[in-house]
Amino acid sequence: MLPGAVAVIRLDRPPLNILDRDMQARLHRAADEAAERDDVRAVVLHGGPRAFSAGADIREMAGMSHLAMSRHAPLLQAAFNAVATIPKPVIAAVNGPALGGGCELALTADHRICGRGARLGLPEVLLGVMPGAGGTQRLPRLVGPALAKDLMMTGRVVSAAEARSIGLVDEVVADAQVLDRAVARATALAKGPAVALAAIKQAVDQGGTTDLGSGLTLETRLFSALFATDDRTAGMRGFLENGPGRAEFTGR
């Protein structure tokens, strides 16, 4: 936990933060804790200065049967979904490789900041399989279906510059500045109206998977509900008395 209500979920399995089953379970628990804690207003995902995550434990997976993976795959997706549905802003701070499951984990974030030396990709096809932790669903929604298919069907890895150009990441900074930049962005967001931020995230994420009419109905419901919050009162009063951008929010 950092000052300013920002929590860091740190992947810590050197040297490459391979996401074995134990790491997946710990990630799920950390995401649940971040979602539940009232003192956490924003989250940063970080793998350290050398590697975000090089993906799943291939040695572990190689020994799994069809039946074993059929039982485990829902747990894998549940861990990543737990991160994606944290009802707070989530920033991925990416250094080094973010490959396979590592890239899929970065895709669960609301914003991705990477270093110039970062490399991203979904090379599962080179192992005779496909992304199984959300990549086939989240990547097309981010970069479009044709480009997503190209990346997943070829398994090619892209540089930070290319990732930025196709919309896979949002910012590219010097490698040494990645975590600081992510924390700064998370800290700024943590000062915002927490209920409204959660509602925006829900409206975009859930609305983007349904038809326009259903999405607009969801937006109307969430928008109206915000008029029951203290932050709406503070925000509108602050605007009328002092101008825009000066309200102080309590998160209620």
Annotated catalytic residue, options 104, 219, 241, 248: 104
Verify whether residue 124 is a known catalytic residue: yes
Rounded to the nearest 5 degrees, what angle is found at the Cα of 168, between the Cα atoms of 164 and 172?
35
pLDDT at 218 (0 to 100): 93
- Pairing mode of beta strands 90-94, 111-115: parallel
pLDDT over threshold 90, residue 120: yes
Least confident of 72-81, 171-180, 234-243: 234-243
Tell whether the model's pLDDT for residue 1 goes beyond 80: no
In the chain, what percentage of residues exceed pLDDT 70? 98
pLDDT at 89 over 70: yes
Does residue 243 carry a pLDDT above 90? Answer: no
Residue 239: the pLDDT is 87
Q: Give the mean model confidence (pLDDT) for residues 205-228.
A: 93
Q: Answer whether residue 4 shows pLDDT above 80.
A: no
Helical axes 135-143 vs 145-154, angle rounded to 10°:
130
| Pair 83, 45: CB distance under 8 Å | yes
What is the C-alpha separation between 46 and 7, in angstroms, rounded?
A: 11
pLDDT band at 2 (very low <50, low <70, confident <90, very high): low
Instruction: Verify whether residue 104 is a known catalytic residue.
Output: yes
The token pair that represents 34 in the structure block: 């971040």
What mean pLDDT is predicted for residues 196-224?
94
Q: Once rounded to an integer, what is the mean pLDDT over residues 223-251?
A: 89
| Average pLDDT estimate for 88-92 | 98
**Mean pLDDT confidence for 222-239:** 92
CB 193 within 8 A of CB 228: no
Q: Determine the average pLDDT of the residues in 37-46.
A: 96
Closest among 122, 191, 179 to 153, alpha carbons compared: 122
Q: What is the mean pLDDT of the chain?
A: 95
- Does residue 21 have a pLDDT over 80? yes
Predicted confidence at residue 3, as pLDDT, reads: 64
Separation in Å, CA 97 to CA 22, 70, 144: 20, 27, 22
For 149-207, write each residue's pLDDT tens digit.
Answer: 999 999 999 999 999 999 999 999 999 999 999 999 999 999 999 999 999 999 999 99
Q: Which position has the higher pLDDT, 239 or 184?
A: 184
SS (HEC) of the chain: CECCCEEEEECCCCCCCCECHHHHHHHHHHHHHHHHCCCCCEEEEECCCCCCECCECHHHHHCCCHHHHHHHHHHHHHHHHHHHCCCCCEEEEECCEEECHHHHHHHCCCEEEEECCCEEECCHHHHCCCCCCCHHHHHHHHHCHHHHHHHHHHCCEEEHHHHHHCCCCCEEECHHHHHHHHHHHHHHHHCCCHHHHHHHHHHHHHHCCCCHHHHHHHHHHHHHHHHHCHHHHHHHHHHHHHCCCCCCCCCC
Selected catalytic residue, list 33, 36, 124, 171: 124
Among 11-20, 35-44, 113-122, 240-249, whose mean pLDDT is lowest?
240-249
pLDDT in tens, 125-155: 999 999 999 999 999 999 999 999 999 999 9
